[in-house]
Amino acid sequence: MTGNEKTVESTHTGSDILIREKLVAKLEKLMEEHDYDRSALLEVLQKAQEIFGYLDRKILILIAERLHVAPSQVYGAATFYNFFRLRKPGEHIITPCMGTACYVKGAGEILVAIERELGVERGKSTPDGRVTLFITRCIGACAMAPNVIVDDEVIGKATKEGVLERIKKFAGGEN
C-alpha cells in the first residue's frame, strides 16, 4: 500500500487541487460510513495513508475536525503506531524485517549494507527523495527469514547481494 501513484504533490496547480478534493471526498465517505465516530480514528488514518501515501498536517487536522477529536489526539495516535508515516516516502520503499527470526538469520547485516549503499539511516529518504528506508518488526514470514520488502514485494531468504542488486537498479534510474 504505497499509494505512490496517487501521492499528491504540494504544488498548487488547478488540477492538483481537483485531484486532492477527489481524494478527500474518498476519505470523507469512509468517515461517513462510520457516522463520524471517534472510534474509527485508526481506520480513517489507515485509509488516509492508503490514499495520500502519508499523513500530512492538513489531513490530520481535517480528520480531527470531522471526528470531533482534538488534533493532539490524532497526532498522538499517528505518532504512536509504527504503521503511520508523517513524511512523504520516496517512489521506492525498502523495508528489511527486523523481527527475531530475521535478526537471527542476519537481517542486521543486511540493514547495515543497505544503509551504506543508500547513504541514509532507517526512517529516512535519499537526498533525491527517490528511495526511503524503513524497518518493520515482523511480517510473519519467519520461516523464510531474512525477509526484505521492496515496494510491495516480499523477498524471502534475502541475501545482502540480492538486495543490493535490486537497490542498484533504482539508483540506475530504472523503475
| Interacting residues toward other proteins by CB under 8 A | 1, 37-43, 45-46, 67, 69, 73, 76-77, 80-84, 98-105, 107-108, 111-112, 136-145, 153-156
Single out the residue of 173, 174, 6 nearest to residue 89, CA to CA: 6
- Phi/psi at 133 (nearest 5 deg)? -110, 115
CB-based contact 105:141 (threshold 8 Å):
no
Nearest to other proteins of 153, 174 (CB atom): 153
Nearest to other proteins of 9, 37 (CB atom): 37
Nearest to other proteins of 128, 153 (CB atom): 153
- Phi/psi at 6 (nearest 5 deg)? -110, 0
CB of 170 to other proteins, least distance (A): 20
Give the helix/strand (H/E) hosting 173.
none
Nearest to other proteins of 84, 117 (CB atom): 84
CB of 53 to other proteins, least distance (A): 15
Distance CA 150, CA 138 (A): 15
Which 8-state DSSP code applies to residue 97?
B
Only one residue has cell 527475531, namely 100
CB of 33 to other proteins, least distance (A): 12
CB of 7 to other proteins, least distance (A): 19
